[in-house]
Amino acid sequence: MGILKAIAKKSPIWIAYLAALLGLPLIFDSILAISIFNQMAIGIVFALSYNMLLGQGGMLSFGHAVYFGLGGFLAVHTLTLIEFETVYFSIIFIPVIGGVIGLLAAIFIGSFSTRKAGTVFAMISLGIGELIAASSLIFSDFFGGEAGISGDRTYGPTFFGVDFAQNDQIYYVAAIWVFIATLFMYLFTQTPAGRMANAVRDNPERAEFIGYSSRRIRFISFCASGLFAGIAGGLFALNYEFITEENLNAATSGRVLLMAYIGGLGYFIGPIIGAVVLTLMNSLLSNYTELWMLYLGIMFLLTVIYLPRGFAGFIMMHQVAWINNRIKSLAIPYLLIGLPSLVFLASIIAMVEMSDHEGEVFHYLGFDLDPESFITWAIVVGFSLAAYAGVRAALPQLKEAWESANTVPDNKDPKS
């Protein structure tokens, strides 16, 4: 009962979240949109689970895909078991299987890898990840070798007559799971273990001096994150009915790191933003250009250098201005710098794309660009230079506006 009360306090946000999750496919109901939403759902749970380790626990892992992948593999195998009626339960419980496997794997691996955080932990996670990914290619009976394994989610008892053959039906299952997973991961941060995870992240030495074994705390975070990564793996299995070694390996581990980092590690909502943004880039951009991975790489690197707190961090940076009620004063400076920035970005991308499309005319933002034409190049370069100048010109004004919007009234300044 008490938990319900706690939820009720923050309920407007959670209700909105649930409504968004359930309502999105009603607004965007194309097949592509549903597929994107399914991917986002998986990404959200996976990225949130990763943040339990990194953002909240301060543990950088390069092998988180192991729990995701193992969960997924067991989930697909379970689908097959259901198909042949060796076990028989509704597939809506498949993510539970994924979660259990993720938890068991995390308990085993965490027992020796959580002794330290930092570089040693990162290296162990990398080693374990590679070990398991490589082993999965060897044990091809279970992991299906390079081709992976597949299953069918339409078996088992139907759920109020639904057999989940269609993608939008499975999306609602995913949406409920995303809501439940998000809720529990959030609640974890409000518990003693969750808070001490933050403390151990900030200062493992001091945490020991208030009575807590840093190693134990890290172990608990590790297991919890494995559990939820496994659930994400189960969702993956349900959505794609197919899983391969790729879903265990360093590339997938890297992708979830990207999602969490770009979204913003220090905020609970960060990974959600990161998962949404990355899924959109992945699905939509890849239709327009072959180079989207290159752009992703550049964006990631720029984020690490200039926006170390991610998109969520960027939004939260405006907290003080919001409190001071000065947000509106930033609108025009942002516009003045935003427009030339966009033009600059567009022209740089145009140049990159032109280099890639050697010799063939291609369509870009409503124009037909010819890489062979000197005039086209001249125009694009000209735009980029003009835009750059525009950005430089608008920068001081933005700085000034930012500073004045962010001055804390004196009597509230903790440093005085």
Supply the minimum distance, in Å, between the C-beta of residue 38 and another protein.
Answer: 25
Nearer to another protein by Cβ, of 11 and 166: the residue is 11
Nearer to another protein by Cβ, of 157 and 308: the residue is 308
CB proximity list for 151: less than 8 A, separation 6 or greater:
75, 76, 77, 78, 79, 80, 83, 237, 241, 242
Nearer to another protein by Cβ, of 40 and 133: the residue is 133
> Which residues are registered as beta bridge partners of 159?
162
Supply the minimum distance, in Å, between the C-beta of residue 281 and another protein.
Answer: 14
Supply the minimum distance, in Å, between the C-beta of residue 36 and another protein.
Answer: 23
Nearer to another protein by Cβ, of 194 and 233: the residue is 194
CB proximity list for 123: less than 8 A, separation 6 or greater:
none
Supply the minimum distance, in Å, between the C-beta of residue 250 and another protein.
Answer: 7
Supply the minimum distance, in Å, between the C-beta of residue 306 and another protein.
Answer: 8
Supply the minimum distance, in Å, between the C-beta of residue 143 and another protein.
Answer: 9
Supply the minimum distance, in Å, between the C-beta of residue 374 and another protein.
Answer: 22
Nearer to another protein by Cβ, of 39 and 214: the residue is 214
Q: Which amino acid is at 411?
A: N
Tell me how far apart the alpha carbons of residues 65 and 73 are, in angstroms, rounded to a whole number.
Answer: 12
Nearer to another protein by Cβ, of 305 and 375: the residue is 305
Nearer to another protein by Cβ, of 144 and 333: the residue is 144
Nearer to another protein by Cβ, of 30 and 411: the residue is 411
Supply the minimum distance, in Å, between the C-beta of residue 277 and another protein.
Answer: 15
